Amino acid sequence: MSVLVIVISIHQHTNTPIYQYTNTPMTISLEKALIVGLGNPGRQYAHTRHNIGFMAVDKLAAAHSIELSRVQNKAIVGSGYIAGRPVILAKPQTGMNISGLSVGPMVNFYKVPVENVLVVFDELDLPLGTLRLRGKGGAGGHNGMKSLIQHLGPDFPRARLGIGRPPGRMSPANYVLQQFARDELPIVQDLLQRTLKAIETCLQLGIELAMTQHNGGVINN
């Protein structure tokens, strides 16, 4: 298919807009994609900072009427279509630090290329509300990502959701297991909504365009 691209520039003498229209060929992948949200199982962890990856997958599932009702490869999973593309949504139930024990076998079972795996997780080193998509990379000190990289290698896309640094002398381990404060919840909901749109863009147009369109911090209206 082709995409209509509209380029708008300003005439340097008259200050009037100049419109240019081009049809740009674009290939959209219809290969199966695996979207993984990282977190810890159990009600006591349901609304903690460390579980924002689970929250993102729950929001994505609700938006596209995908039921997360099956247990497979030590994960809660659901399947459906997003933007016309077949997807599997997964929330590993192994515990954050050994998530690779679930995701590795799942990737093999569904024969999903690692470039079609998108992992969503919390990031201490980004301010609360910041979204950063990347096509590949290291673990950055995140134990769940370390486990995934051990099983998949580093070349899979990821969405890092900023939760900010702990205040004062609080340990990061305690901070990530806290629930978000009440005044943080609007920022969290905005971040989850932007993550939803970013994943949809990634599935439609690829990680590079999704990065260009969606990487950033809190949007102030």
DSSP symbols for the chain: -EEEEEEEEE-TTT--EEEEEEEEE-PPP-S-EEEEE----SGGGTTBGGGHHHHHHHHHHHHTT----EEETTEEEEEEEETTEEEEEEEE-S-GGGTHHHHHHHHHHHT--GGGEEEEEEETTS-TT-EEEESS---TT-HHHHHHHHHH-S-S-EEEEE--PPSTT--HHHHHTSBPPGGGHHHHHHHHHHHHHHHHHHHHH-HHHHHHHH-BSPPP-
Please write the tens of the pLDDT for every residue from 18-44. Answer: 544 444 444 456 789 999 999 999 999
- The pTM for the full model equals 0.85
Pairing of strands 117-123, 33-37: parallel
What is the model's pLDDT at position 3? 45
Whether residue 42 lies inside any domain: the answer is yes
Mean pLDDT of 204-218: 92
Say if CB 17 and CB 8 are below 8 A apart: yes
214 pLDDT more than 80: yes
Mean pLDDT of 122-137: 96
What is the model's pLDDT at position 17? 57
Instruction: Catalytic residue, from 11, 13, 50, 64: name it.
Output: 50
Q: What is the CATH number of the domain that holds 134?
A: 3.40.50.1470
Whether residue 13 lies inside any domain: the answer is no
What is the model's pLDDT at position 67? 97
53 pLDDT more than 50: yes
For residue 123, give its domain range: 33-214
Mean pLDDT of 77-91: 96
- Cβ burial of 43 (10 Å; 0-12, 13-18, 19+) is exposed
Please write the tens of the pLDDT for every residue from 153-203. Answer: 999 999 999 999 999 999 999 999 999 999 999 999 999 999 999 999 999
Whether residue 150 lies inside any domain: the answer is yes
Phi, psi of 162 (to 5 degrees): -70, 130
Whether residue 16 lies inside any domain: the answer is no
Whether residue 102 lies inside any domain: the answer is yes
**Quick check: is 151 catalytic?**
no
Indicate the number of domains in the chain.
Answer: 1
Whether residue 78 lies inside any domain: the answer is yes
CA-wise closest residue to 124 among 50, 36, 40: 50
Whether residue 220 lies inside any domain: the answer is no
Whether residue 51 lies inside any domain: the answer is yes
